[in-house]
A = this chain, B = another copy of it.
Amino acid sequence: MTPSDGRGSETRERIIEAALETLRQDGFAEASARAIAARGSFNQALIFYHFGSVANLLFEAFSQRSEDQVRRYRAAAADVATLSDLVGIARELHAEDTASGHVTAVVQLMAAAHDPQQSRALLDRFEEWIAIVEDALRRATADTPVASVVPYRQGAYAIAAMFLGIELLARLDPERSEAGDVFDMMAGVARLIEQLGPLVAQAMPQR
């Protein structure tokens, strides 16, 4: 489609980088071709040459990074054995995002989406994230009573949604974000479930 489909083009990469940075720092509303070009110190016209439109650029930028991250987190999730591990990954992902702003960018794109086609594309991508959480959740609760109570799919959906909400709030005022405290709390709950598991399991049949 694009003139330089040699993928790894030097400039393409620079443009994508600037686009994500703009999305993260200034938000979607401010992510104009001119603003992005200014941030990356390149010519505004390059965006249209390489990506056709700003909307296209933003989506491609997200799409490419998502692919990378999905690969990485799928690997990390494969090592999850306990609920504590799962919370640990979430905490790590959030910490990374504070620096890279990738999830923040996703939230921006989701909130700004208006054409149904793009909305669906975003949801399809997000589906991969949910699947990773679901997979980790399944493995983490294999031998706990949670397994028979919380449907994995919905549990994963809820966790993923919560993560989006946290990133949404964190961008408003990083200083005031309580993400760290929330992860601490969840870590505590995870530990408790792990410890109480056997006991509850014993009690469950009476239910």
Contacts and interface: CB of A to CB of B under 8 A. Distances in A.
Interface residues of A, number: 54
A178 B154 contact: yes
A166 B172 contact: no
Contacts of A111: 27-28, 107-108, 110-112, 168
Interface stretch (A13-21, A67-75, A182-190): A182-190
Nearest to A110: B168
A45 interface: no
A113 B30 CA distance: 10
A3 to B, nearest CB: 27
A196 interface: yes
Nearest to A164: B165
Contacts of A162: 158, 161-162, 165
Interface string A133-154: 0000000000000000111011
Contacts of A181: 151, 153-154, 157
Contact of A172 (B123, B186, B195, B204): B123
Given A110-B169, A158-B186, A199-B200, 5 more contacts: A111-B168, A120-B173, A149-B192, A150-B189, A161-B166
Interface of A: 26-30, 107-108, 110-114, 116, 119-120, 122-123, 126, 149-151, 153-155, 157-158, 160-166, 168-169, 172-173, 176, 178, 181-182, 184-186, 188-189, 192, 195-196, 199-200, 203-204, 207
